[in-house]
Chain A
Amino acid sequence: MNLIGWFDQLGSWVWGLEMMLVFLAVGLYLSVRTGFIQFSKAGVIFRETIGAIRERALGGDGQISPYQATMIALGATLGSGNIIGVTSAILLGGPGAIFWMWMAALVGMATKFAEATLAVHFRQRFADGSVSGGPMYYISRGLGLPWLGGIFAILAAIAAFGIGNVTQVSALSGALYENAGIPPVWTGLFVAVVVAFVLAGGVVRIAKFAQLLVPFMVVLYLLAALAALVLHAGNLIPAFLSIFSSAFSVHAGVAGGVGFTIQQMIKAGVGRGIFSNEAGLGSAPIAHAQAQVDHPVRQGFWGVVEVFVDTIVVNTFTALVVLSAASWSKGGLPEDVLYGSFGVLGAGLRIMPLVLALFVFTTVVSWAFYGEESAVFLLGEGIRWPYRLAYIVMAFVGGLGSFGTLVKISDTMNGLMAVPNLIALVVLGGLVAKLTRGFFSGEPWRPPR
């Protein structure tokens, strides 16, 4: 077997059913350890996050507000997976897949809570008040395994070029070429220039960029979806009910096919529920670690909200649009089904390439930060600018082609990031529980020395 074949096999394993079960098991374990915090403290979580959204950053370490850190993380997770990916899940598993997507997201909330909490707890503080954190730090400092933290950082630094960069820019340039006839070289150049400008300002500029763009694109997409739902209003309630009615039963397949098995349905839904919000992959904690907070658990709350917005809100809107249009039952390519479902908007459909472009920009910028922080963990501050330059060049090149091999390798790297991260989450689950108990007892946070 050649190297590519080996990566293929590894990729199918890390993105396969067995690994999904591991994600779910870890999420359940962390839910138990934290007393199912995503449910038991739901009110507190929303008061502390959405309820305090206008609040400025707390003093102390870090350079950006908890909200900005979350917007960077959301910028990375919100992507074509929330639109095309959800449509694929419905095509592969039927409406019931959405129910299982929700279930997986609810479990994933505890995972993301633990990731964000640990990222702040174990972050590295520098003399100038800046911080660095993420799984590489909590693996290295929390587990006492710097080599495993290093492996995570290598995987993240490489994965950023694929999942965060070439895959995104390539999809955008393809869509813009097909819909607007814009040559890919211009798309690549434009993305590279914008990314270069944002990255040059460091985490503070990245945060401002995400703070501005992410809420805007979410609202824009939700308004478009809402408009489509209003125009499909007659089908909305049956579509919603079909999610529950078909969640536990065999459902007729697309185009009169043989139907979905429950296993297919669960695999498609759970897969979307896990990979859409990246809970457990270890990418988002790199952003959460930057937040100025007085207690890590407070940032953990934002982790829960991140999953909620990504999967429960955005994905559900996509699902309802697709299901209420009913065209999914005829089958077809996910892109065609999706555009067919939004076709009710008429000329308003033109908004979709803009939404896709915004999703791409935020993903590219957020992943640049993840990759850069990982590279700095490995090689020190000196690598920051060379990494940025390489990333900017790849953003331009990404517009010119799909780079199948590179994307395949980086996708595998992305999936492999979960392995050291999930190990750390299991081992440090007790600490997450202790920090959570401490927070709810009013104890001050004492960062490790």
Chain B
Amino acid sequence: MLKGNLSELPLGTLLQTLATAKRDGVLQIATPWWRSQVALSGGLLFSAEAGRRRGWQAVELLAGLRSAPFVFDESAEPPSEGDLMVPMDAALTKLLAVSQRWSGLVHIPSDWSLRLFLGKKTGELQLTPAMLHILGLLEDGTVAKVLESAARPPLEVAEALDALMKEGIIETALPVEVNGVELLALSFYGQQTGTAFLDSELYQEWLRTLAGPFSLLVSSPRGQETELEAAAREGIKGRVMLNDKDLRKLKAARGVKLTVRPLAHKKG
């Protein structure tokens, strides 16, 4: 069993080493966002999987990983049907070209768990169809999720993303997790639904912690949950102020304890 990290042994070099030693087995790459593995069998690159990507698209995506622990297990059985079946020599040549393209994408962070959001920068940029596609996937998207779920080859998506990030059209932020707090519901009235007010002090604290705007995931004791825009209001310490209509949707009322958790960067 061979163990290591892609930061020390990139995918291309690793596969070349295994091919030279004529080893069959399954290479499992421990990515936190999805299941990743590459199977080698009978001198062929037999199959590959990275989340929803299969075959060569999975290899292309995994080639972009700059760091991830891996384990090569010779005793593991490859899938019954291969989705690649490419001779190792041809695969390695192709992989070399892919790795070179990835190495030029310097604006994509190595941590793919970072969240993507629209930057504040404005200006003119000729948007390609791939870029437009990425912009449509930004809602709640991380780098990993966009690269995995886009309906285009991963490298094309990565190149478009890199260009957008270079221009500042898309920015990233740390995936800060703030624990939910219990706040007493306070009602307000009027047309402004979809907004929850926090005491100014707490709002500023979360703004600092999350390094930017955030929305609120509000849960009621009766199991209802909704996401609302966050706003600040003076003098409501220990409270979260919701429109009476939103409170009713949550099956809650004034004075009920609601669990409130900030969600960073739903939008820029």
Interface residues of A (CB under 8 A from B): 44, 47-48, 51-52, 54-56, 58-61, 294, 439-444
Q: A58, A439, A441, A443: which contacts B236 (Cβ < 8 A)?
A: A58
Taking a contact as CB atoms under 8 Å apart, the answer to whether A442 and B255 are in contact is no
A312 nearest CB across to chain B (Å): 23
Taking a contact as CB atoms under 8 Å apart, the answer to whether A51 and B186 are in contact is no
Q: Can you report 23 A-B residue pairs in the complex whose CB atoms are below 8 A from each other?
A: A44-B244, A47-B254, A51-B253, A51-B254, A51-B255, A52-B253, A52-B255, A54-B255, A55-B255, A58-B186, A58-B236, A58-B239, A59-B235, A59-B238, A60-B235, A294-B186, A294-B233, A294-B235, A294-B236, A294-B241, A439-B189, A441-B189, A442-B190
Taking a contact as CB atoms under 8 Å apart, the answer to whether A48 and B187 are in contact is yes
Residues of A within 8 A of B253 (CB): 47, 51-52
The A interface is mostly helix, strand or loop, or mixed, namely loop
- B201 nearest in chain A by CB position: A59
Interface residues of B (CB under 8 A from A): 184, 186-192, 199, 233-239, 241, 243-244, 253-255
Residues of A within 8 A of B199 (CB): 59
Taking a contact as CB atoms under 8 Å apart, the answer to whether A59 and B187 are in contact is no
- A55 nearest in chain B by CB position: B255
- A57 nearest in chain B by CB position: B238
Taking a contact as CB atoms under 8 Å apart, the answer to whether A442 and B189 are in contact is yes
Taking a contact as CB atoms under 8 Å apart, the answer to whether A442 and B186 are in contact is no
Residues of B within 8 A of A444 (CB): 233-234
A47 to B256, CA, bound (A): 12
Residues of B within 8 A of A294 (CB): 186, 233, 235-236, 239, 241
A435 nearest CB across to chain B (Å): 13
Taking a contact as CB atoms under 8 Å apart, the answer to whether A440 and B239 are in contact is no
Taking a contact as CB atoms under 8 Å apart, the answer to whether B190 and A440 are in contact is yes
- A48 nearest in chain B by CB position: B254
A48 to B234, CA, bound (A): 20
**Centre residue among A44, A47, A294, A439 by max chain B CB count within 10 A:** A294
Taking a contact as CB atoms under 8 Å apart, the answer to whether B192 and A442 are in contact is yes
**Centre residue among A56, A59, A439, A442 by max chain B CB count within 10 A:** A442
The B interface is mostly helix, strand or loop, or mixed, namely loop
- B199 nearest in chain A by CB position: A59
Residues of A within 8 A of B234 (CB): 60, 444
- Beyond A52-B255, A58-B235, A444-B234, list 15 extra A-B contacts (CB 8 Å): A44-B189, A44-B244, A47-B253, A48-B187, A48-B254, A56-B184, A58-B237, A58-B239, A59-B238, A294-B233, A441-B189, A441-B190, A441-B191, A442-B188, A444-B233
Residues of B within 8 A of A56 (CB): 184
**Centre residue among A54, A59, A61 by max chain B CB count within 10 A:** A59
A54 to B244, CA, bound (A): 18
- B232 nearest in chain A by CB position: A444
Residues of A within 8 A of B241 (CB): 294
B25 nearest CB across to chain A (Å): 63
Taking a contact as CB atoms under 8 Å apart, the answer to whether A440 and B186 are in contact is no
A440 to B244, CA, bound (A): 10
A439 to B239, CA, bound (A): 17
Q: B189, B233, B235, B236: which contacts A440 (Cβ < 8 A)?
A: B189
A42 nearest CB across to chain B (Å): 14
Residues of B within 8 A of A51 (CB): 253-255
B241 nearest CB across to chain A (Å): 8
A438 to B239, CA, bound (A): 20
A439 to B233, CA, bound (A): 14
A409 to B190, CA, bound (A): 48
Residues of B within 8 A of A52 (CB): 253-255
A443 to B233, CA, bound (A): 10
**Centre residue among A44, A48, A56 by max chain B CB count within 10 A:** A48
Residues of B within 8 A of A59 (CB): 199, 235-239
Taking a contact as CB atoms under 8 Å apart, the answer to whether B254 and A442 are in contact is no
A142 to B184, CA, bound (A): 33
B202 nearest CB across to chain A (Å): 11
B255 nearest CB across to chain A (Å): 4
A64 nearest CB across to chain B (Å): 16
Residues of A within 8 A of B236 (CB): 58-60, 294
Residues of A within 8 A of B191 (CB): 441-442
Taking a contact as CB atoms under 8 Å apart, the answer to whether A60 and B237 are in contact is yes
A45 nearest CB across to chain B (Å): 12
A241 to B215, CA, bound (A): 57
B67 nearest CB across to chain A (Å): 47
A61 to B234, CA, bound (A): 11
Residues of B within 8 A of A58 (CB): 186, 235-237, 239
Residues of B within 8 A of A443 (CB): 190
Residues of B within 8 A of A54 (CB): 255
